[in-house]
Amino acid sequence: MQKKFVANLAFLILMNLFIKSIYILGFETQVQNQVGAASYGIYFAIFNFSFLLSILLDFGITNFNNKNIAQNNHLLSKHFTGLFTLKILLAIIYIIVVVLSGLLVGYDSRLMKLLLLQGFNMFLLFFINYLRSNLAALHLFKTDAVVSILDRLTLIILCIIMLKAGVLKEPNGIMYFVYAQTIGYSISAITAFIIIIKKTESFKIKWNWVFSIMILKKSFPFAILTLLMSFYNRIDTVMIERMLPEGIGDVQSGIYAQAFRLLDATNMIAFLTAGMLLPIFSRMLKHKENIEPLVKLISTLLLTPAIVVGVGCFFYSKELMGLLYTFHVEESAKIFSLLMLSFIAVSTTYIFGTLLTANGNMKQLNIMAAFGMILNIVLNILLIRYYEREGKPAFGSAVSSLITQYLTAIFQVIIAQRIFKFRINHRLLNTLILFAIGVVVINYGSKLLNYSWQVNFVMMVVSCGLWAFLSGIISIKSIFRIFKFG
């Protein structure tokens, strides 16, 4: 059973990495180039604005459903009907709140149209996640993997058509891209819904107050955590677009989005790893097993590539951004260099935040997330204005994000250490520091070579891989040990 689980999980990760990386790096970057920084900046700011309110769409229901159906497969028919009705009600509330919030912040009719469509897309996205939680709970992992990439496969096909036709270059070109997302999400949602319906004994829409209130109470702490973390992870472009004058805010938001989307693509590895860790940590904690060896193992396996990626992108930011984008390369490269350094902190959060979630330490996590939200908002207000005087306000948001991500990551490590009484592993810390210094030296040295930057970059990556083994931070044996915990 363990080997089957690990094999299916590997299939899910590889499918997502392959398709979604192709989409983000190969097609969405081209969409950004064609629609321009201003149009994409508006789109991305409104996307994040709608995402900030998305807690109303889920309220922690997906996580509850995943765990509950996995333990009680026979409840699928009963709970699917009740949760489906609850999700529809939450969607209606969400759309109303999104519209009112858009009017409150001053969006005009053009932006309200985009916001409304984005709100509908957000509903579809979260509905897909809910449907997928049923597939995962039923251990239909390969089906779940296919559903998870179906929207992106559809979007890739539609992007090819739009890019060839040149419709994205039109004044309202960004709307075609959003419509394409709607089609992709709709196909994925309908497919997953049909599969789930076939697994249920009966389906009819009905409202159950007692059931709905019980679900909402149990999922409330998770909902608050998701809301707070969404704010300090996604509010940057919203503040850039709203705080700066019309025209300038759009472009600056677009410049920031160019860098942030690549961080999003990189985060996929840590996100999928966290999805694997949650049930493993939960099982081990339930059976009172020693989790310290696993935490050490995952820390080395996840932080090692995070350091290489973060430092490597810092040194090669201009070259990588120039490879993908046509406009505002130098400005977005400076932002990209800082955002990618924060990937090390984000990876740390995925490890220790997942551990604390599995242990039920929601109060501590919510306090940490509230601190992160307040800190990020205050820093954005101060630094956007400060760097606006230098003509690069979006850079201020990157600095704000870097500081917030590292402080919240450190707090989570401290909380975990105090709760689980972890011994401070001086050997591991020293090895990580030594490895990080070596990676910096390797990157600096590679920039001095008289080859093309592509050759220098490849040599840097290979050298960092060899250094990982030479420094003792990772070994072949440790890689295979991960399967022991599957």
pLDDT of residue 42 exceeding 60, the answer is: yes
The DSSP-derived string for 167-187 is GGGSTTHHHHHHHHHHHHHHH
77 or 30: which carries more pLDDT confidence? 30
pLDDT score for 476: 66
- The residue among 411, 441, 403, 456 whose CA lies nearest residue 307 is 441
pLDDT of residue 75 exceeding 60, the answer is: no
336 or 232: which carries more pLDDT confidence? 336
pLDDT score for 286: 76
pLDDT of residue 461 exceeding 90, the answer is: yes
Interhelix angle 2-21/248-286, nearest 10 degrees: 170
pLDDT (tens digit per residue) in 383-424: 999 999 888 899 999 999 999 999 999 999 999 999 988 888
Q: Is 205 left (phi over 0), alpha (psi -120 to 50) or beta?
A: beta
- The residue among 346, 345, 355, 354 whose CA lies nearest residue 419 is 355
Report the pLDDT averaged over residues 73-89: 68
Residue 211, both tokens: 């059931």
Residue matched to tokens 């309200």: 112
pLDDT (tens digit per residue) in 176-224: 999 999 999 999 999 988 888 887 766 666 667 777 777 777 777 877 8
pLDDT score for 146: 83
